[in-house]
Structure 1
Amino acid sequence: MYFDDRLATVLRTGTGSDRALRTQYRQLLDLLGTLPRYADGSQVDAAYERLAVLSGELPSAQRSAIIREPGMRLANPALVAILAAQEGEIATATMAVARLQDADWQTLIPDLSVAARGFLRHRRDLEPGTNALLERLGVNDLVLPAPDILELSDTLVQPDDGVGTPGAEPTPIAASSVFAVVTPLRPLPPVQTPAGPEADNGDDLAIGALVRRIEAFQRARSNASSQKPAPLMRGSDAPLLPLNDLHDARRGTLPPAFDFTTDAAGRIDWCEPAYAPMAYGLMLASQRTDAPARLDQDAVAAMRHRQPLKAVMVTIEGAPAIAGIWCLDAIPQFDRKTGGYLGYSGRMRRPSANAGPAADSADPMADRVRQILHELRTPVNAIQGFAEIIQQQLYGPAPHEYRALAATIASDAARILAGFDELDRLARLESGALELDEGHCDFATVLASLVEQIRPALVPRASDIAVSGIDGAPAIVALTQADAERLCWRILATIVGEASAGEELAIGFMRDSEHAIAAFEIPANLSGSTDIFSASLNGGQRAVSAGMFGTGFTLRLARAEAQAVGGSLTFDNGILQLVLPLLTGEDELPSHGEAQDRGR
């Protein structure tokens, strides 16, 4: 016996709305699709019966869309066999999504319908044994039925042409005379053959005529390229062959952009008439290297997760008018009633001349880090969402122990996502792909405020932090209030978190004509570090923490943020020094940067 309380929970869920029906169908597919081979019992039987009822209540289009959803797991041969025997739309989706072992496929394939086996032959990830079995069965699957043979009788009945006498009997005619009445309408013209030696050999005559026609075409084409072509008159000796002339003439008249839509699989199913013969049917979501339309891995992943596409480069191979590089912008479309995914709607345009250098200047390492973070965010987001569903009891009551565990999981997932955001921010700042928001604030006021907020964290350890040099004079820097607080907090939280019991820290602040300078005394735990910006994890819990990746990473991120506005963060002789350029007030002389801009 196999018992799973998840099945019992799903079967107890109410289905009073269309959304509840789709949700229960999705949950049953996921649970039954991952059951072990030996699973049985009353709950399993009840789940299959409930799935059959839902299959009768939900349209096939909605069920097919649910089966094709990302993350759907169909690894149970029994469930795959049941789905493959349903409508063609369901069988197609099942054959595309099912992930069975090679032995399971070989056991299941002989029992599948011919149509289901035909859908399965389009898979390219099957084992050799499964492919060999499909080839053997294909000997019979791919044979067309023999046509019905009609025997010709000795006599044929002449049909009534509507002119004869009503009620008269049809006149029978002999079958052999049918072929005698087919005579040419007019005599065929005699074939003109040249006199001479060429008339002795028919093959030489045909080859010679073909060579002369090709030479005549080449002469006509060379003359047309050197002068404006004249319209060909009927009976002209110059032949006109339909090669690339028509395409070359049309290419210059095509618009530089066209709108399109795709189906749920990512294949273009509509586009503007000018490009329809060339673009219709292109698969945009293909990962094959030899596909006619190729996108980068980030764009394919974004399409798989139904995310918008902006300024994505697409390389298309095909007719000369559409071949080359295109810039794609598209958004996913969803059904307003059911919420099901329909496909993408967007536009392709030729990239501008200055689009290449900007793309080439990007740091490939930073792009790789951002791609990895994008792949990691997806499962963490899903885990956080499911944990919040359980903790908030959105789909029904849950035990308090489960809710407590779910709350812990949701909190940990939020911390992980916050760490991913910091990694992404550092990668984009160091590669120059991110610019901080424009704004200004008084950095002296921000520093004094955050010191007062963080001082209570030092009281239990009998430590303290003192600030000198803040005399009330403003120190306006080119940072928004939020960015300035974020930068200052990273530094303060790092040094306070590393401070020992009874240790007193000092911060000195000063300003000159062009810069605001803050000097932070480093705690004794960090004074022996040769490279304070090296990435290292914290050894234990801290009363105040600036991030989950440790002291070195946090200070490195703070340094990148300071450099983004023309400042710096350096470490020398136990002092961490932050330098930020000042902005002049409205009644003061222009700053150095403003004077250079005005001089231009």
Structure 2
Amino acid sequence: MFFDDRLATVLRQRADSDAARRTQFRQLLDILGAEPGGARSARDSSLVANAWMRLGALAETIPAPVRARMIAEPGWRFRNPQLAAHLADCEPEVAASALTRAQLSPSDWATLIPRLPVRARGFLRLRRDLPAQTVALLDRLGVRDLGLPSPALAGNMVPGGNEDGVAPLDDSESGDAESVDEDEDAGAEADADHADDPDAPFILTQEAGREEPHVAPEPPHRPGQPRDRNLESRSEISALVERIARFRRDREHAGEREASEPRLPLGEDTERNRTISAFGFSADAAGRIEWADAEVAAMVIGTRLVAPARLGSASPQTPLERAFARRQPIDGETRMLAGAEAIAGSWIVTAQPRFTHEGNFTGYVGRFRRPVDAGANSPSASEREADRIRQLLHELRTPVTAVQGYAEVIQQQLFGPAPHEYRALAAAIAADAARILSGFEELDRLARLETGMIALEEGETDLAALVARIVSQLSQVLGPRMAGIVFESPPENAALVALDEEGAEALLWRLLATLGGGCASGEMIDAAIETGSGEARLVCDLPAQLLAEEDLFTAEARPVANAINAGLFGAGFSLRLARAEARSAGGALVREGERITLMLPLSARGDQGDRPQDFHAGES
């Protein structure tokens, strides 16, 4: 960074809202707090002065508890003694957060502490990470903890005592207890009894160089003597603070005992059943792991990424070894780890090489992760292929739809008049785009049906009546060429199939239109319906155009007449789509010699009156 303009950028921002003011306050804290006291700032003095003024103005609009929480956040560096002195003059909660959060050098502390307000110096006694010189300075300045010394250790506060004005306890006043040194157990039991008293005042005693909270008994209340309300309130607060401190101390001691005391093998399961799915690591130039995440450090440190190279070894290198030898990035290579159950097995390694400024190789830093389990829920090869086809169709639909839209705009003259010739061309383009989109729909439908993503809805449809209607529609186009499908079903003979009418009509239209479109001039084919064994069968003759095809479902034959077009990709694709729809409905579409048979399951009502039927309208 050649020019540090962060401070100027922050000051240029307008803080109109409450969120903007809080954001700018955080930014100023981060920038001003990052400058150590010993280094001279390279910023413009007027810019820095403006920053301090803006910081004070923002402090007047942001509540003190909110500023205290911002200062206590661990995400910024606090190394500026000037900022610490500025915040120490603010509200008590802000001063406490600042003096608890500041990380200054001993010389900065020595300069700052005499300038601090008296009430702010006491907050420093709550810290346990101050340098030794700073602690000594606090002691010389008389900054003590907010508590009274223990009577058992410091003596009674009476006039005429020792040099400190404190007289030791007299033997006659001590009762049966000779001294604290002679009976430490008795003193500990007395402290425990005092700690259980909720009305005891909170004091601090120093024992073996460690400050721990203790309580002292409250003097008994004499009849007729008024109670001190302030003392009572302080006693309740002190008792609460003592209970919290005792709870934390007992919890820490329990954790230390659990970590230090060994456990006997009594049959319990002491191994943590945890699954490690990934961890970070760094390796040295020899490929030996020298650092890893804390939970796996003891299990993997010292493990080599690759086996050490040996002279004369002719074994082929793995991709991991080859990348390591060439100092190249390791991208998703497999590595087996042996050892504890938590790390044993196959891993995927991704790492980047590290180099010094002089270009010397120093090792790798990266991450181990478990390979993805290719279980039963993973997609099959056909499903992956179908998904790729759907994605391709999605990409192709966008330009075709755009072309169709612009063609319709020109044909309908939405943006102004256009010549008739252009309108005719635009209409043809729009029609071709519509045919292409319909072909895309068929491809997408076939992919979804073959992978089982969609299925035809169940219902009840009269197969005979539906076939008769479609044949009648086709005869109007095929009749002038003396071609068509011969089918006739009496009304009293119905075949109710378990398929909704919309899906059945699309299936039968695709099948019959493909067969009818393949009929040459003067060619008639027969169609019949048979019922039995819980299914209805539509048997149709194949036209001469399709009889020569070895595989009927891959035929590329086009319809003889342009008036009938069952699909964009030929007869084979249309029959394959019809077969997928029939399978989705619980039936089938098969070729039997010179005929093709569509089988569909009968509905519950149609299956009750099931009896073999064979309907023919005539002979060709």
Q: What is the TM-score of this pair, normalised by structure 2?
A: 0.39
- Larger gyration radius, structure 1 or structure 2: 2
